[in-house]
Chain A
Amino acid sequence: MRRVSFLLTLVLACAPGAWTQKAEPAIPRTADGKPDFSGMYQWPTYLPGDERGHSNATTFDRKNFAPLKPGGEAFLEPRTGDPRHDEPRDFCMPAGFPGGILSGNAMQFFQTKNYLVMVHEFQRMTRIIPLDGRPHRKGLEPMYYGDPVGHWEGDTLVVETTNFNRWSLDDYYYTNPKEFRMHSDALRTIEKIRWKNKDTLYYDLTIDDPKIFTRAWSQEFEIKAKPEWESAGLYEYVCEENNRCPGGKCESK
């Protein structure tokens, strides 16, 4: 009888825990309990319902922009006809951040306790994001990809990147040549990354560029997990290998 009472007590003690478990689907977690973003992904794409879908390089929507500061119009440049200005990537120059991550190629993330490494197939661009609480490095020259550091806010990874050079913001100029968007060297980006559901990441990107905008502004994207791409992994991308027509001048065959 004593044994039955003990078992009954045990069952009752455990039952509430079972009933109060969160209904949210389990997300991948590391050994220390942090959300685990390791895996293969599609590039950041528009939210469901956006007619632009998942096919193109993703761009920022003008409706999300904060008002421009006086003189901020300078960030919209016309194309000049000089391919080194209009499309430096055609000479294998870097895509930079954030424009590069929005390019339509696969990505692979690797996460350890102290780092998240994002590798994008386009140009094999690699971002190594420390997660150990260190501050930004000092004394660096401005960079195409900036200097990122990350920290956890609950199940959201927040990545702040600073120390950019002036470079293209996104690929919108292929849609409208009158809007060739350049961010300034004062750019600071904030990325917020968390699991939205078991196969999609929420990806919120804040653009804080005080030389151009009156305040910071954000756009939300989603990043689809692509476990079916794991077996093939990322393919090599060496731009200099056979870039036959840089700037529209083709080498002889």
Chain B
Amino acid sequence: MRRIVIPALLALAALASGIPLLAHHSFAAEFDDQKPIKMTGVITKVEWQNPHIWFYLDVKNPDGTTTNWGFAGGAPGQLMRRGITKDQLKIGETVVVEGFRSKDGSNNASGGRLTFPDGRNVLTAGSQDRVPPQTMPAKP
């Protein structure tokens, strides 16, 4: 029950807070909003650069191999004004990322929402990027 209620409450909180559901200048060109993803992995690299931050996770596949995925967030300035700083993304830490796959089918995606091991949940999307729903099952 708790597994259902908490994501539902978080989704409601996101709606109530007026978080935008529209895409902005790069999202529609780069990512497919019909292909939402949710992945758990270990942070291997962070690029705190414009026009979007990128962070990379080693994600274990069902067959035991590991794939390194890249996730794009908002611009550093947008995130810092929101209280999200580079030092919150720690190399070696396991996190859950929700977003949408890149249009080219490569191992890249938007990373609109990030959940830390302590359950803290931050919106890493650009201010107009598509915000992933929070009720998706984790894959792989």
The interface of chain A, by Cβ under 8 A from chain B, is 53-57, 83, 86-87, 89-90, 92, 95, 103-106, 121-122, 171, 174-175, 229, 232, 234-239, 241-250, 253
Q: A245 CA to B103 CA in the complex, in Å?
A: 9
Does A105 lie within 8 Å of B127, measured CB to CB? yes
Q: A122 CA to B56 CA in the complex, in Å?
A: 24
Given the known interface contacts A55-B127, A243-B51, the answer about A174 and B22 at a Cβ–Cβ threshold of 8 Å is yes
Question: Across the interface, which residues of B come within 8 angstroms of A121, CB to CB?
Answer: 75, 77-78
Q: A56 CA to B24 CA in the complex, in Å?
A: 9
Question: Across the interface, which residues of B come within 8 angstroms of A245, CB to CB?
Answer: 26, 30, 72, 102, 104, 108
Does B24 lie within 8 Å of A250, measured CB to CB? no
Question: Across the interface, which residues of B come within 8 angstroms of A57, CB to CB?
Answer: 22, 24, 127-128
Q: Does B80 contact A (CB under 8 A)?
A: yes
Contact of A239 among B51, B54, B107 (CB under 8 A): B51
Contact of B26 among A89, A175, A236 (CB under 8 A): A89
Does B102 lie within 8 Å of A87, measured CB to CB? no
Given the known interface contacts A55-B127, A232-B81, A236-B77, the answer about A171 and B106 at a Cβ–Cβ threshold of 8 Å is no
Contact of A242 among B50, B68, B78 (CB under 8 A): B50
Question: Across the interface, which residues of A come within 8 angstroms of B51, CB to CB?
Answer: 92, 237-239, 241-243
Q: A202 CA to B23 CA in the complex, in Å?
A: 27
Q: Contact string, B64-95, partner A, CB cutoff 8 A, digits 1/0? A: 00001010100111101100000000000000
| 6 A-B pairs closest in CB distance | A235-B77, A248-B103, A242-B49, A90-B29, A87-B29, A55-B20
Q: A103 CA to B23 CA in the complex, in Å?
A: 12
Closest chain A CB from B107 CB (angstroms): 8
Closest chain A CB from B45 CB (angstroms): 8
Question: Across the interface, which residues of A come within 8 angstroms of B25, CB to CB?
Answer: 87, 89-90, 95, 103, 171
Q: In terms of DSSP, what is the predominant structure of the interface of chain A?
A: loop
Question: Across the interface, which residues of A come within 8 angstroms of B128, CB to CB?
Answer: 55-57, 104, 171, 174
The interface of chain B, by Cβ under 8 A from chain A, is 18-20, 22-26, 28-31, 47, 49-52, 54, 56, 68, 70, 72, 75-78, 80-81, 102-104, 106-108, 127-128
Does A241 lie within 8 Å of B20, measured CB to CB? no
Contact of B106 among A104, A232, A250 (CB under 8 A): A250
- Report the nearest A residue to B75, measured CB to CB: A237
Does B24 lie within 8 Å of A244, measured CB to CB? no
Does B77 lie within 8 Å of A174, measured CB to CB? no
Closest chain B CB from A169 CB (angstroms): 14
- Report the nearest A residue to B106, measured CB to CB: A250
Does B26 lie within 8 Å of A253, measured CB to CB? no
Closest chain A CB from B47 CB (angstroms): 6
Does B54 lie within 8 Å of A174, measured CB to CB? no
Question: Across the interface, which residues of A come within 8 angstroms of B68, CB to CB?
Answer: 253
Contact of B20 among A56, A95, A247 (CB under 8 A): A56
Does A244 lie within 8 Å of B108, measured CB to CB? yes
Q: A86 CA to B80 CA in the complex, in Å?
A: 29
Contact of B78 among A86, A90, A105, A171 (CB under 8 A): A105
